[in-house]
Amino acid sequence: MKLTFIDWSIVAAYFLFNLAIGFYYRARAGKNMGEFFLGGRNIPWWLAGTSMVATTFAADTPLAVTGMVARNGVAGNWLWWNFVASGMLTVFLFARLWRRSGVMTDVEFAEIRYSGKPAAFLRGFRAVYLGIPINCIILGWVNLAMVKILMLILGITKIQALVVVLAMIAVTSLISTLAGLWGVLVTDLFQFVIKMSMVIVLAVAAVGAVGGIDQMKNKLTAIDHAKGLASGGAGSVLSFVPDLNSAWMPMITFLVYISVNWWATWYPGAEPGGGGFIAQRMFSAKDERHSLLATLWFNIAHYALRPWPWILVGLASIILYPNLGDPETGYIRVMIDYLPPSLRGLMVAAFAAAFMSTIGTQLNWGASYLVNDVYRRFLKPNETDKHYVSVSQWSTVLLTVISAVITFYMTSISGAWKLLIITGAGTGTVLILRWYWWRINAWSEVSAMATAFVVSIALQTSFGLSSDDPVQFAKIMLITVGITTVVWLAVTLITGPEPNEILVSFYRKVRPAVTFWKPIARLAPDVPVSHDFGWNLLDWFCGCLLIYGSLFGIGKLILKESETGILFLTVALVAGGVIYWDLSRRGWSSVME
């Protein structure tokens, strides 16, 4: 794709504006670690939530969605749509609790919920494990996607593209080290506006390239008929529900996704019970109300509002490039071939924005683990804030270098996704119940993590099950979750509970629903008893209806199936009304005004 002087000027202006934001927030970020990593815990819900959306809108995301649609139709998105239920759990059952906890990172939680050496080990291990290998794998696949994009756009080699990516990482790292979380959040907001605007423009161009919505549907129907499928029915490219007799999503696999995967598996951005950079944004919110509303806005935008521009480009790419060896590249090819030349510079800037928003968050989040939960906790506990901020900046540089090395050797983005899903299977239950059941202890988490990792690896190596095969993937998930659950429950009951003073302190600070904390609640009669668990579950259910109703309703309206679309949107509106009524009943609606 040929870029003009004006295109390069737009890209340069984009980078300069981001750097200006970094320098603007430099003084504020340098005050202390609370400012550097949490923005002084004074972030409004709309900014925190938008930052979550921007972070999950990486350079690899539209490519991944295009590949899913090209291979398996609209229903291919169930590979990530199944996490809606997990996201809604975070909104209504955990956001407020996380904010009340007062911790700086989610792994610091271990030492306010548990005690002694097991708690310290759990905190340190998870900080290193999540902060370096897991975080750098995520950074690696985001980098790899950007490398693929640059190779196609600029017509350069992988090494050359990696050099460009490293330069972009250097700019992002500079912003992150200078400005801390405030700089990351404000650049996220700016970047989200750019990239969301441009993906909509590209979707319009893609639909126009195939002759409009009606022609697109007709051509996809012809493709369905050529494959022996009924238009809009099970197995159709346009179907919102997968064909449960298909090779890629048989019934057992689909049932695992919608009934097990979302609560049993740890996965970045959709952790059961919240965690990672999502938790960081909840900690940074002004109060627990802003924390809840931030995660609610994130889930609505992430699942209901954002996917359709990507999906439309994916559908168009099926028609325009029917025999692509790598379907994910269809997104870039549509951009190269059909985007108006006057908008190419903005589109390149949009991809840079998608890349940098994710990189900026991952660097800041990973550094928070290394500094707060390893360096300050175990190595240098009595240094000044200035010293810790300086170490945070160097930790950001370290993560940048490691992620670049991983990118060079990584070949598969989807392979990295599956690795994280499989090795985290079975741990989700503990991460959920540690808030709501007093009997969970540190050994519960340790045994769950160790068992899930060992069992999942053994099933793939010693027993020959492959996560690339849908049925075998489902078997790996079910076996790993089953064995892990049995092990951690047995360990929990065999080992003793945490000391009463730790449990009472946690109960006073977090105030979880009393249902499974009654023995501890009796030791703290002065703490107001919370009986809102049932109402939170109702909000969770309505939240799922809100997301799916909006997602499918918008899709049906775009595809000119108005009656069905209006029906779905009506369901979403009613569900949203119930949520608003409940929040208003609790006196929370004013925060949205």
C-alpha neighbours within 13 Å on the C-beta side of residue 492: 19
pLDDT (average), residues 380-388: 82
Residue 589 has pLDDT above 50, yes or no: no
Residue 383 has pLDDT above 90, yes or no: no
Tokens, residue 438: 């007093």
Taking only the tens place, the pLDDT of each residue in 287-305 is: 989 999 999 999 999 999 9
Taking only the tens place, the pLDDT of each residue in 530-583 is: 778 889 999 999 999 999 999 999 999 999 999 999 999 999 999 999 999 998
SS3 string of 21-46? HHHHCHHHHCCCHHHHHHHHHCECHH
Residue 90 has pLDDT above 80, yes or no: yes
Residue 229 has pLDDT above 60, yes or no: no
| pTM (2 d.p.) | 0.86
- What is the average pLDDT score of the chain? 85
pLDDT at residue 593, rounded to an integer: 36
pLDDT at residue 433, rounded to an integer: 93
pLDDT at residue 359, rounded to an integer: 80
* Between residues 18 and 566, the one the model is more confident about: 566
User: Which residues have CB under 8 Å from 46's CB, separation 6+?
Assistant: 293, 294, 297
Is there a contact between 488 and 444 (Cβ–Cβ < 8 Å)?
yes
- CA-nearest of 367, 380, 377, 365 to 121 is 377
Listed range (155-169, 371-385, 407-421) with the worst mean pLDDT: 407-421
pLDDT at residue 179, rounded to an integer: 66
pLDDT (average), residues 139-144: 79
Is there a contact between 290 and 452 (Cβ–Cβ < 8 Å)?
no
Residue 411 has pLDDT above 60, yes or no: no
Residue 456 has pLDDT above 70, yes or no: yes
pLDDT at residue 225, rounded to an integer: 77
pLDDT at residue 231, rounded to an integer: 46
Taking only the tens place, the pLDDT of each residue in 176-197 is: 666 677 777 888 888 888 888 9
Residue type, 309: P
Residue 422 has pLDDT above 70, yes or no: no
The continuous run of DSSP H or E covering 183 comes out as helix 158-209
The label of the residue with tokens 């503990």 reads 430
Confidence of residue 164 (pLDDT cuts 50, 70, 90): confident
pLDDT at residue 257, rounded to an integer: 87
Share of the chain above pLDDT 90, in %: 38
Is there a contact between 43 and 286 (Cβ–Cβ < 8 Å)?
yes
pLDDT (average), residues 231-242: 74
Residue 30 has pLDDT above 60, yes or no: no
Tokens, residue 19: 């750097």
The label of the residue with tokens 């007709």 reads 218
pLDDT (average), residues 486-499: 95
